[in-house]
């Protein structure tokens, strides 16, 4: 018992490590700790969904050769999380997130095979808790409708609808404002798009999502310069 207690005391807090995920090595270390905990207890729901979340982050920020590996692992553990707690939204949301980035890594033709499972997972989140993580399911569905070609169910109008709904849960979401700006630009609604990009720049940093805020503020600044 004493040895186990000492081991626990010496293990860094993965939540603190993940909070500083902008340093990729910290996110890798956090993922490794959650992976180890899950190996020790396959029914550890919290470690499963947090590992899936870390895999999603690393799936676009780890060295290129490792990204798909993280995303595939993220799909696996998020499915486990949704099985362990089918009435909780975390597993379904991070399943959709990992599958979405994985689909993009394969390109349009192969990636389209994920479109149904992604939408289904997000619709489950909406049924369980539409306000989950600041309207993140609506935000992701807004992106789904923007990215998927119209022939396969995509729609800019539906994209705008979901993205605006997500902003009713978190009006300061840099991600929602940025995604909405991209959809509006695709509809040639430039004045509205510029307003959304400015909203990204004006939004205060969310301490829980500071790395994402930093990223999308930089993207908005760049896109605003290119948008007359």
Note whether 167 and 205 are within 8 A (CB): no
The rounded distance, in Å, linking the Cα atoms of 154 and 150 is 4
What was the pLDDT predicted at 227? 93
Note whether 84 and 47 are within 8 A (CB): no
Fold annotation for 11-129: 1.25.40
Mean pLDDT, the chain, integer: 94
Question: Is pLDDT above 50 for 168?
Answer: yes
The rounded distance, in Å, linking the Cα atoms of 116 and 83 is 19
Question: Is pLDDT above 50 for 5?
Answer: no
Q: Where in the chain is the domain with CATH 1.25.40.10?
A: 11-129
The residue-averaged pLDDT of 166-192 equals 98
- Range with the poorest average pLDDT among 66-80, 101-115, 141-155: 101-115
Architecture of domain 153-228: Alpha Horseshoe (1.25)
**Considering the entire predicted model, what is its pTM?**
0.93
The residue-averaged pLDDT of 90-112 equals 90
The residue-averaged pLDDT of 62-68 equals 96
What was the pLDDT predicted at 10? 66
């Amino acid at each position: 018992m004493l040895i186990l207690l000492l081991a626990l005391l010496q293990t860094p807090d993965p939540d603190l490590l993940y909070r500083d995920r902008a340093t990729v090595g910290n996110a890798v270390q956090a993922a490794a700790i959650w992976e180890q905990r899950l190996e020790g207890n396959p029914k550890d729901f919290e470690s499963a969904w947090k590992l899936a979340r870390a895999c999603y982050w690393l799936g676009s920020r780890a060295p290129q050769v490792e990204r798909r590996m993280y995303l595939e692992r993220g799909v696996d553990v998020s499915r486990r999380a949704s099985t362990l707690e089918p009435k909780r939204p975390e597993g379904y949301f991070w399943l959709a997130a990992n599958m979405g980035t994985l689909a993009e890594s394969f390109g349009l033709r192969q990636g389209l095979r994920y479109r149904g499972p992604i939408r289904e997972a997000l619709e489950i989140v909406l049924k369980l808790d539409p306000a989950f993580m600041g309207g993140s399911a609506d935000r992701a569905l807004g992106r789904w409708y923007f990215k998927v070609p119209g022939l396969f169910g995509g729609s800019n109008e539906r994209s705008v609808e979901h993205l605006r709904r997500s902003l009713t849960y978190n009006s300061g979401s840099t991600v929602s404002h940025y995604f909405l700006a991209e959809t509006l630009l695709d509809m040639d609604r430039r004045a509205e798009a510029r307003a959304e990009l400015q909203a990204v720049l004006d939004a205060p940093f969310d301490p829980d999502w500071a790395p994402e805020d930093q990223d999308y503020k930089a993207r908005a600044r760049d896109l605003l310069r290119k948008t007359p």
